[in-house]
Structure 1
Amino acid sequence: MSLNNASSNARIHVLAIGGAHQFGHFLPVACELERRHPGQVRLFVSTEAEAAAAVDFARGGHLPQVEVMRLPAAAVLLPATLHKAARLTIWAQRLRDAAVILCAERTSTMLKRLPGDCPPILHIPHGAGDRAVGFEPRFRLFDHVMLAGRKDRDRLVEAGFVTAQDCTVTGPVKLATVLAGALAKPPLFDNGRPTILYNPHFSKKLSSIEAFGRRLVAAVVADGRYNLVVAPHVRLAKRWSAAKRREWEALAVAGQVIVDLGSPRCNDMTYTLGADLYVGDVSSQVYEFLARPRPCLFVDAKGVAWQDSEDYAMWHFGEVIGADADPVAAIERAFATHGAYVQWQRERMAYTIDGIAWLADGTPSFGAHCPVREAADKVEEFAGLKPRALAAVA
C-alpha cells in the first residue's frame, strides 16, 4: 500500500463512536499524536457527554480538537441500534477528509464500503479477550491493525483475517497507560477484608449475572468475611430499565458491597487493580485484573463445552463453577488453590500482553516498552508523517 505524501497539513481523524468505555484503548495515542502534530488531529465522538468525558480523560493534556457527530432530527428517530451506521453515513465525507483514520471498533469499516475514496483505516481493538467475536472478517477491511500481544496476532493471522504484514504488536495501550500513571490508591474498602470483583459480561448468551449475581451478593453478605464489588461490563446495565437498575443498586451494603453499573471506575481499572479475587464469565477485563496475578473464579451459566476452546482460554486461570454452586465455598477454594494457577496466568499474560514483566514484589512493569509511542509511530507512518523505512528501524 502506498503512503500519502508527507505533508505538514496531513490530518489524522480518530473515530470514537463505540462509547467512552473504549477511550483508554486509543485516546492516549490520539493525545500523543496531537502532542507531536498540534492541530492536525481531530477526535470525533457521538454525543456531548462523550466530548466531556474525553476532556476529563485527557486531564488537561494534549487532547485533539473534538467534534460531536450530531444527527439531524429525522435520523434521531431511528432505533438506537442504527445510530452508529447513520452517523458514519451522514458524516462519511467529513470523516474521510484525512490522511488516515484511527478507530477502536469495527463498525467504522462501513467507511470502506460506502461510495467514494477512503483513506487508510487503522484499528486498535478495545481489549484483548478470548471471545470469538474479537476475531472476525471485518478485520480484512482495515489497512493495519495494532494489537496488544502475540495471542491476538496469531489468531487473526491463522484465521486469515489479516496478514502478518498488516498487523503490528504494539502492546496494550490502556493497560500500559494506567500502570504508568498508577499512584498508590486508597483501598476500595477500609475494613481490611479481602475484596471480590464480580465482572459479568453484557451478552445475554454468555453472561452469568441473572443466574448467579444475586446469589453471590446474598452469600457474601451473609458470610461476612469478604467485600464485594458488582461491576458488570458497562453495556449490560445500559439495556436495563430504570426500575431494574434501582433493583440492583439496592443490593449495595454500606461498607461491604458496591454496585457500580457504569461509573468511570468501571473503565479506569480502579476495580481490577483494587480487588483480591476476580469472579466473572467472559469479559476481557480479566486480562487487566491479571496485570498482577491473583485468584480467579469463572461461572459457566450456560453449560459450555469450554475446555479445549480458545474462546474460553481465560477459564484456565481458575476454577470454573456452575451457576448453582455454593459461592462462598468456591471463593474459599479460589484463594486456597491460587498457587496452582499462577504460572499459567503469567505465561498466558505474557502471550496476550506484549512487554509485560513483573518485579520481584509482583509489581507489573513494561520497562522501556511504550505501546502508546509505538502505536503513534504507526499512525504517523500511514499518514505520511513518518517514512516507512525509518519506522521499520525505529
Structure 2
Amino acid sequence: MGTKIESDRTYKIGFIFLDEIHHIFHFISIATELSKTQKVSILTYPSNHDLLRRSIKELDGDNITVEELPTSAFRAFTDKIKGRELPRKGFWIKKNKKYILQTFDAVVFTDYFHKYLLRDRKPGKTPKLLKFPHGTPGRAYAFNKSQLDFDFQLIIGNFQYRHYKALGLLGNYPALVGYSKLDAVQHKQKEIFFKNNKPIVLYNPHFDPEFSSWKQEGLQILEYFYSQDAFNLIFAPHLHLFQENKGGHSASEIPEKFYQKKNILIDLGSLKSTDMSYLNAADFYLGDVSSQVYEFIISPRPCIFLNPNNLSYKNDINFRFWRCGEVINSAKELNETLAKATADFAKYRTVQKKITEENYYTEEGSTASERGAKAIVSYLDKALA
C-alpha cells in the first residue's frame, strides 16, 4: 500500500553527511523516499563514498544528488597532515554555510553541528533544521537539550516520544514515524561467518571510557573465547573504540593470536559492524552500554551485560537495556552465565518484546521511511506556506 506524499510543492532538502559510515543507514531510506517527489541532495566531503553510493543504488535513489563540497584549502591541508579521514565539521560547515543557507528549504542533521546554520539563517528562519536520530535512544547523551534548536524532530518510537516529553525536549513539530534504518538494511541476507554450527556470541563494547567494558575486561573476554571450543565469537566494538581521538584505544592492544583463532572474528569498524550483519548472525549478545542491543532484540535472544564498574543501574532509565538480560561484573562470570543463558532466557523474552514495541513505532501498510518522508513534506507545507 505505502504512504503517498501529497503536496503540490517541491522542496530542496539537504542531508548533511560528515560522519562515519554508521550514520548512513539512519537517513538514506528517507532521503530516497523524499527524492521521488522532492529535490534531495546529500551534502558531504570529497571522498569515494562507496557505501553511500552503493546504498543509494540499492534503494533505487537515482534522483538523489551527492554534492561533494570541500572544506577550505588550509583546513584540508592540516587534516591531511594530521591523518584525518573526515573534515572537521565546524570548519566544513563554515566554508559551505552561505551555499547551504541560500539553497535549501530544509537541512537534515543526524548530529548536533547545526548551530553554525542556526545563528545565521534568513529572517524567515529558512532553511528549516530537521533532526534525525542516529540510533535508538538509550543513555542520557541521546537526550540532548539541543533537540529544542530544531524545527522538526523525527521520533522513532513511543519510548523516545514519552521520554522527550517528560524531559521537556519535544519541539513544536515532532513526528512519530518508526525506525527507518530497518528499511535501509532489510535486503541484507543472513551471512555465514564460521565453518561450524557452534553458537555465536557477539561482543560489542562501547567506546565511552566511563562505561565501556573493554579497558577492564576486554582482553580477558577474548582470552575466554580463545581457550574454549563451545562458542564462536564476533568481536565488533563501536567504531569509535579504537580511534585515538574518540575511544582512545589502539588496535595494537589486541594480541595477534586472537586474529588467528578460527572461532574468533575481529572487526574493528567495517560495513558489517553497522548494517546489522553481525547482529543478525549472532545467537548471544555480550556488551555494556551500546544501544545496538536494541537492534539485536528485535529478534529476541539471550543477552549478557558487563558492569565492571559496579554501577548502580536498577532504577536508572539510562540503563533500560540491562533489563534485557543478565548483568555480570567480570569475565570470570562468563562461563557460568553463558551455560545457563538459553535456559534462563524465558524470563527475558517478554521484556525484550515489550521494549522493542516501545522503541519502534510501526503501522500496517507503510514503512517508517514512507511515513518519515510524508511527515517532512507535510511539515514543510505548513511551515513554508
Q: Pick closer, same or farther for the CA change 1:187–1:33 going to 2, 3 Å.
A: same
CA contact (8 A) 1:129 1:287 kept: no
Deviation at 1:16, TM superposition (A): 1.2
CA contact (8 A) 2:41 2:66 kept: yes
Picking from 91, 96, 115, the partner of 1:86 is: 91
Larger CA deviation: 80-89 vs 242-251? 242-251
C-alpha distance in 2 between matches for 1:383 and 1:166 = 10
Alignment of 1:118-133 (within 5 A): 118-133=126-141
CA contact (8 A) 1:249 1:260 kept: no
Picking from 321, 331, 337, the partner of 2:344 is: 337
CA contact (8 A) 1:296 1:318 kept: yes
- Give the aligned residue type for 1:375: G
1:195 match: 200
CA contact (8 A) 1:147 1:171 kept: yes
2:110 match: 104
The alignment status of 1:143 with 2:148, answered yes or no, reads: no
1:152 match: 160
1:167 match: 174
Deviation at 1:83, TM superposition (A): 1.0
Report SS of the residue matched to 1:126.
coil
Alignment of 1:236-255 (within 5 A): 236-239=241-244, 244-248=250-254, 250=256, 251-255=258-262
Larger CA deviation: 102-111 vs 367-376? 102-111
Alignment of 1:224-263 (within 5 A): 224-239=229-244, 244-248=250-254, 250=256, 251-263=258-270
C-alpha distance in 2 between matches for 1:336 and 1:126 = 34
Report SS of the residue matched to 2:89.
helix
2:220 match: 215
C-alpha distance in 1 between matches for 2:251 and 2:141 = 27
Deviation at 1:110, TM superposition (A): 3.2
The alignment status of 1:381 with 2:368, answered yes or no, reads: no
5+ residue gaps, structure 1: 356-365, 389-394
Deviation at 1:202, TM superposition (A): 1.3
Name the count of aligned residue pairs: 365
1:73 match: 73
C-alpha distance in 1 between matches for 2:311 and 2:249 = 31
Deviation at 1:85, TM superposition (A): 1.1
CA contact (8 A) 2:226 2:261 kept: no
The alignment status of 1:42 with 2:41, answered yes or no, reads: yes
Report SS of the residue matched to 1:91.
helix
Report SS of the residue matched to 1:55.
helix
CA contact (8 A) 1:112 1:118 kept: no
- Give the aligned residue type for 2:343: A
- Tell me the C-alpha RMSD between the 2 structures: 2.5
Deviation at 1:153, TM superposition (A): 0.8
CA contact (8 A) 1:11 1:383 kept: no
2:100 match: 95
Alignment of 1:296-311 (within 5 A): 296-311=303-318
C-alpha distance in 2 between matches for 1:159 and 1:11 = 32
- Give the aligned residue type for 1:68: E
% identical equivalent positions: 23
C-alpha distance in 2 between matches for 1:276 and 1:212 = 21
Report SS of the residue matched to 1:229.
strand
CA contact (8 A) 1:109 1:138 kept: no
CA contact (8 A) 2:173 2:379 kept: no
C-alpha distance in 1 between matches for 2:360 and 2:303 = 18
User: What per-residue deviation string (whole Å, max 9, x for no partner) do you get for residues 12-67 of structure 1?
Assistant: 11111232211101111111212233xx1110123414x33210222352151111
1:362 match: none
Deviation at 1:6, TM superposition (A): 5.8
5+ residue gaps, structure 2: 1-6
C-alpha distance in 2 between matches for 1:217 and 1:186 = 22
User: What per-residue deviation string (whole Å, max 9, x for no partner) do you get for residues 70-97 of structure 1?
Assistant: 2113223378698111112221122222
User: What per-residue deviation string (whole Å, max 9, x for no partner) do you get for residues 270-299 of structure 1?
Assistant: 001110000001111101101100000000
Q: Pick closer, same or farther for the CA change 1:343–1:242 going to 2, 3 Å.
A: closer
- Give the aligned residue type for 2:108: L
TM-score by structure 1 length? 0.86
1:391 match: none
C-alpha distance in 2 between matches for 1:279 and 1:47 = 37
User: What per-residue deviation string (whole Å, max 9, x for no partner) do you get for residues 89-133 of structure 1?
Assistant: 221122222111122112224311246454111111011131100
Q: Pick closer, same or farther for the CA change 1:168–1:243 going to 2, 3 Å.
A: closer
User: What per-residue deviation string (whole Å, max 9, x for no partner) do you get for residues 278-332 of structure 1?
Assistant: 0001111101101100000000122211110110000010111113533222222
